[in-house]
Structure 1
Amino acid sequence: MSAHDRLVGAATLKRLRLARGWSLADTARAVIGKATEIRQPFDVSVASVQRSVARWESSTRPILPGDRYQLLLAHLYAYGTDGRVCLGSGSDFAELLDALAHLGESERRLEELRTLLVRTATDSGAGLLALLGPSVEGALSRALDDPCRLDEGVLDALRLVVADVNGRVGSLPFVRLQILLAPVIESCRRLLGGSVPDALRLGLQTVAAQAYTLGGRLAFETRDDEASRALYAEATNAAGAVGVPWRRSVVHMSHALVTLYSTPGLGAAQQLVDAAVRDARAGGSVTIRARAHALQAEIAARRGAAKHARAALALAWFDMDADRDGDPAGTSFSTAHLRGFEGVTSLYVGDASDAHDYFANSSAALRAPRERVQRAIVTTDQALARIRLNEPESAADLLHGCIDAASSMGGRVASIRLKRARRQLRPWRTEDWFAALDDHLIDSLGA
């Protein structure tokens, strides 16, 4: 951080304080009070904290608040002057994170603070309102009362909330994400049922398709298959109304993956994958086409159709190697994801040793918080490959980490894969390490 950046951060902290009418001593008392409120009291005098606040706001050599103070400031500024949680753009909390960034805090730490406060929002029941900016809440209420009053600001806010919730898959349990997303889904339904301005209808359909798709996935993960099917049907209709085929392909692929685990056989999932490939081939996103071909390869491999699986996988790699500059979905699927599909293909119609290496490489590359769910799934598949290589105890070692991940997120796919891996280990059920794995599964997942 440059000296100028640090001064900007210090000035932002001072502006936040003054906007609430607080003196340095008032801020110190508020910080100490918040520490007691969240049950993290510390034995520090008001004068001592006041000196720290002054150092953060110094106009010559400001310093970055320590981790504990950052946590307390985050809890302090997450609440508006009306006492409600507000984390969206333009909120005091967003301004605080910007100040900390200018003072030199890492993106990872700032994301941890935001995730923690989003969790707090779901605990308090704030939900959607917490993720909206302070100026958007009223505009959304007016638009819901009269859809003709929908404007770009509200549409952008809804779009950002969907992206925010989607970005927290892997960081927050699925049930919490449902709490945050449910009001967006209902808002989209109400707005689409009214006379929204013609110029905004396609944009609203796009946001709705994204919200319904994510909602369908979250409903599946929390074992509400009926709601999941209904949401995917709404998502398919909304994406079709947009008139951009690759967007409907995304819906079909998400729906196919949950169908694979909620419907017996491969037929229903196969139909959805075929529809996804048709829409993806209609153009618009090479990345989505690669993802559709990769999913096509997995379904073929599960059917034992080795030739078709390898042909689809070759098409996926061809697409990934193409020029994807400017691709509207360029970051939605990566080579790390594709290696996972390559591993699945090898697991079912190839060599278990190759599959293991593909899974290991994929898992090593999937390190973002958003990829935690996928990493747990890939690592479970890696354990299956070890079982086939007659390395059962080593496989069990991998599965312990997968159990912890599945337990913290409440994910259904990871749990299903874990149970299948456990069944594959039954020939070694008299071993002590098998008993330890069983105990871990029962304690964490109840199975």
Structure 2
Amino acid sequence: MYARSADEQNSLGAGSDFGELLDALAHLGESERRLDELRTLLVKTATDDGGGLLALLGPSTQLSLSTALADPSRLDEGLLDAMRTAVSDVNGQVGSVPFVRVQLLLAPIVESCRRLLAAEVPEPLLPGLRAVAAQAYTLAGRAAFETRDDDASRALYAEATAAASGIGSPWRRAVVHMSHALVTLYSTPGLDGAQQLVDAAVRDARAGGSVTVRARAHALQAEIAARRGAAKHAKAALALAWYDMDADRDGDPAGTSFSTAHLRGFEGVTSLYVGDPGEAHDYFAGSAAELRAPRERVQRAIVATDQALARIRLDEPESAADLLHGCIDAASSTGGRVASIRLRRARRELRPWRREDWFADLDDHLIDSLGV
């Protein structure tokens, strides 16, 4: 009831009755976890019938956006803040809702950014608009990749790179390059395309104002090097990543975007390719144990699948299969493409045990959930 406006439209954003309800429940002592669960449930409900495209924009924001689209000179800081919050809200739903719903929620913001950037908006607001656009396009590019629309994904990443280039903060373009590199790694044969994007990300991150982004860029650099079999280079990049993570990150503009739990996952990948599988397994286990937020569900599934690969190499195939069942459920609920790719790889490595009952159970689960 609270999530419906007077004209029976879904409305979950700032200024909506639902937003006021969440504030009231918070003041009455309800936990942040329960409030997040309630919000996620309403987002799912709002997109069940293909609607809810503007659900995360409150009524006043929708009016302001309509006004700005009709007359771009009326764009203001308040609207930019609301759009930025909406993109962050959608980003927060990753792992809780399928990627097709992420696309639905992003669509009006992406199109609004395109129209405003093509118009004459107040000059002082251009950097802020480009920052919002870069975030929206990057997330939309990731969602397009996850839903297997690689052409749309490449186009969105190109738009994101162009928008980020006009902000004047190199670390923002580094974020785009890193997301694009991971997508390229799984959608393009070979490592060269991903390598070029990672190298560009490292250059921008080193010139930027975020130590956290620099740590993530070095971690990704380590993964690419490990996949190439360049152990020395991979370990050097990991050392730089840990050096950055241990630095003073107070006031870092991207301080929450990458954590030690994420970095342990990269350590695991490095050990898996150019080190000891037992060590890799322990890194993956530690990373998965810490990645517990709903937003981290996709990443946790990827890490756990890699952990299963380490178990296979430790000659523990049945234990690996047990772990993969949970990964299948996570990949199925989110539609995550990377997790699905990793699962297929793990299945191939389990083929020597294909006559075992537990392998048949795993195969049935994969087919029933993912059709692979």
Structure with the greater relative contact order (CA < 8 A, sep ≥ 6): 1 or 2?
2
Q: Specify the alignment match of 1:50 in structure 2.
A: none
Q: CA deviation at 1:146?
A: 1.5
What letter matches 2:364 in structure 1?
D
Q: CA deviation at 1:430?
A: 0.2
What are the within-5 Å matches in structure 2 for residues 41-440 of structure 1? 76-440=1-365
Q: CA deviation at 1:81?
A: 2.0
CA contact (8 A) 1:178 1:218 kept: yes
TM-score (norm 1): 0.82
Q: Deviations over 1:389-421 (max 9, x none)?
A: 000000000000000000000010000000000
Task: Give structure 1 regions of 4+ aligned residues with deviation exceeding 6 angstroms.
Answer: none
CA contact (8 A) 1:115 1:171 kept: yes
Structure 2: distance between partners of 1:127 and 1:333:
30
Q: CA deviation at 1:206?
A: 0.4
Q: Deviations over 1:12-63 (max 9, x none)?
A: xxxxxxxxxxxxxxxxxxxxxxxxxxxxxxxxxxxxxxxxxxxxxxxxxxxx
Alignment RMSD (CA, Å): 0.8
Number of residue pairs the alignment of both structures matches: 372
Q: CA deviation at 1:125?
A: 4.2
Q: CA deviation at 1:142?
A: 1.2
Aligned residue for 2:55, secondary structure, equals: helix
What letter matches 2:145 in structure 1?
F
Structure 2: distance between partners of 1:244 and 1:103:
40
Q: How many percent identity over aligned positions?
A: 81
Q: CA deviation at 1:127?
A: 2.8
Structure 2: distance between partners of 1:322 and 1:96:
40
Aligned residue for 1:129, secondary structure, equals: coil
Structure 1: distance between partners of 2:94 and 2:264:
21
CA contact (8 A) 1:115 1:168 kept: yes
What letter matches 1:244 in structure 2?
S
Query: Structure 2: where are the runs of 5+ without partners?
Result: none
CA contact (8 A) 1:128 1:184 kept: no
Aligned residue for 2:54, secondary structure, equals: helix
Q: Deviations over 1:158-186 (max 9, x none)?
A: 11110000011000000001000011110
Whichever of the two has the greater Rg, that structure is 1
Q: CA deviation at 1:283?
A: 2.8
Q: Deviations over 1:337-377 (max 9, x none)?
A: 00000000000000000000000000000000000000000
Aligned residue for 1:370, secondary structure, equals: helix
Structure 1: distance between partners of 2:262 and 2:269:
11
Structure 1: distance between partners of 2:62 and 2:206:
40
Query: Structure 1: where are the runs of 5+ without partners?
Result: 1-75
Q: CA deviation at 1:380?
A: 0.1
Aligned residue for 1:135, secondary structure, equals: helix
Q: CA deviation at 1:149?
A: 1.2
Structure 2: distance between partners of 1:228 and 1:435:
35
Structure 2: distance between partners of 1:122 and 1:370:
18
What letter matches 2:139 in structure 1?
L
CA contact (8 A) 1:188 1:204 kept: yes
Q: CA deviation at 1:124?
A: 4.2
CA contact (8 A) 1:352 1:389 kept: yes
Structure 1: distance between partners of 2:65 and 2:50:
18
